[in-house]
Each structure stands twice: as C-alpha cells, then as structure tokens.
Amino acid sequence: MNTLFFRRLLAVLALLALGANTASAELISRRGGTMIYDSDTNLTWLADANLLRKQLAQDPDLVGKIIQSVGTVYTNWGDIEVKYDDFIDQDYPYLRDGKVTLIGARAWASYLDYGGFDDWRLPEDGSGCTGYYCYFYSEMGSLLYEGLLGRPGVPIDKAHGPNYGLFENIQIGTYWLGNDDRTSARISSYSMYTYSNFQSTTLYRDGFNNGSWYIYGHAWAVRQGDVGELPAVPLPGSAWLFLTGLLPALQRCRRLDASRR
C-alpha cells in the first residue's frame, strides 16, 4: 500500500470539501537552511541539490570510502559492484558537475551521513508513472510540481514559485530516482528530467555488448520525517552572572552620561 498516494488523496479530498481551488505544499527551512522539510509529504530534502559535487571537491578520497563501505548496490539485474567509473567519467570529470551513474547515486545516498542522520536515500516513485504530472506517487514529482510550482515542458529554473529560493544548486538535467524499472530488459531506473519536469526511465549504461558506456545523472538525497530544529544551547551559569552584573553597570553609565549633558 502506497502511503504517499493515500496522504495526497486525502489532502485533495479535504481541499475539495472546503471548496479550495488551489493547493501548494508547505516547505520549511531547517537546520540553518541546510535541509528543507515538506510538511505535505513528510519528507526532508537536502537544500543543496548537488551536495555530492561539493563533497567530492572537499574529500578526494570520498569515492574510495563509498566503494569500501557500500560495496554493491541492488538493482533489477541483481547486485552490482560499485566502481570508480560510477563516479568518474574520463571525458567529463566528476568534479565539474557532480554527475554519477545510477549505481554511484544509490551508493552515495546509502553512505551519506549528514546533519546527524544516516538514513538518506534517493527519492522514489511508487507507481511506475512516466510523463508529466507524476506527483501523486512520485516524491520528486511532488516537490517539483506542488512544492516548487514547476510547469510541464519548462525547465524548473525558468518557471517556479517562491519556494525555489530555499534550495541551491538545482541542476537542469537528469536526477536519478531510487527505484528500478522492473519491466526493463536492462539495468534501468526511474528518473526525473528537470529541464522539462518529465519523469521517465534511464538506463544505467548503454551498449552492453558492444563497448558499453555509462550514463550519468545527478543525485539528490531525501529522508522520511522532519529533522526539526536543534534546541537552543543555554548559556552557562557564569555567563548569566556576567550579563546580570553588566546590565546595572551599563545603566549607571547611561545616567552619568545624561547628567553631563
């Protein structure tokens, strides 16, 4: 049973009962703007839609760490070994745009430990929807169409609502989703094209039997639930004593200054 679908269905029915004409998801900035919570789908997104590129630039050993930690990724063709080729394209080095293969994207999301959470993953679609307006089941479709108010056939950076500014580094291209196309005869996954807000399927690599080459896209991590805000750190007792002692002194200085005028 797809819980995202039923949440969206109940929300629409409630709006119809209230006579509402339009609806948009509420996106809430979290943790100093590093994460964005979607209260409609109960998902938290990374605010940086291309965080992997930044991490690779900061840590030259990251690919090796991911390979050693994750090892293999499950697909509709079975377990696939994670390789350097999943992160490094000889013609287009990964440091340029952060693109990875389907296997690289899943391995990175599985490895990711960010903001104190290690349950990040790629966004998913529970229906096998392809085309425009895949948002009833699709987590990324919901974000693009309802959260960011994107339009079909138009790049998301060209047409969007005010929530777009909550995010950074949204790439115009292909974003990998976390579930396979089970009907495909080759290793493939659902993906979202942000240059048209169209959801489809994309192969892991092409030309399997004849000098195959890998296909690269972007990775954007999401997790279930609200991360909330970190509690305010209380000042130590000595700091409160200092501040309470400083206030009367400041008041005396103000009175002396006023008497000299």
* Helical ranges in the chain per DSSP H: 3-18, 51-58, 62-70, 94-97, 102-111, 139-142, 237-259
In 3D, which of 164, 150, 197 has the Cα closest to residue 49? 164
Give pLDDT tens digits for 2-14. 555 545 544 444 3
Residue 207 has what pLDDT? 64
Q: Which two tokens stand for residue 49?
A: 């839609």
Average pLDDT over residues 165-181: 95
The DSSP secondary-structure symbol of 15 reads H
pTM over 0.85, yes/no: no
Q: Other C-beta atoms within 10 Å of 18: how many?
A: 7
Q: How many residues does the chain have?
A: 261
Choose between 237 and 127: higher pLDDT: 127
Residue 176 pLDDT > 60, yes or no? yes
Average pLDDT over residues 120-144: 92
Give pLDDT tens digits for 15-50. 333 333 344 569 999 999 999 999 999 999 999 999
Q: Which two tokens stand for residue 236?
A: 């130590």
Residue 260 has what pLDDT? 55
Measured between alpha carbons, how far is 220 from 112 in angstroms, rounded to an integer?
A: 11
Measured between alpha carbons, how far is 168 from 148 in angstroms, rounded to an integer?
A: 13
Residue 100 has what pLDDT? 93
Residue 89 pLDDT > 80, yes or no? no
Residue 169 pLDDT > 70, yes or no? yes
Q: Which two tokens stand for residue 212?
A: 């195959």
**CB burial string 232-246: b at 16+ within 10 A, e below:** eeeeeeeeeeeeeee
Average pLDDT over residues 165-192: 91
Give pLDDT tens digits for 188-212. 899 999 999 999 999 888 765 555 6
Residue 111 pLDDT > 90, yes or no? yes
% of the chain beyond a pLDDT of 90: 57
Average pLDDT over residues 219-224: 98
Residue that is written with structure tokens 């009907």 in the block: 183
Sheet of 43-46: strands edge to edge?
27-30, 35-38, 43-46, 222-224
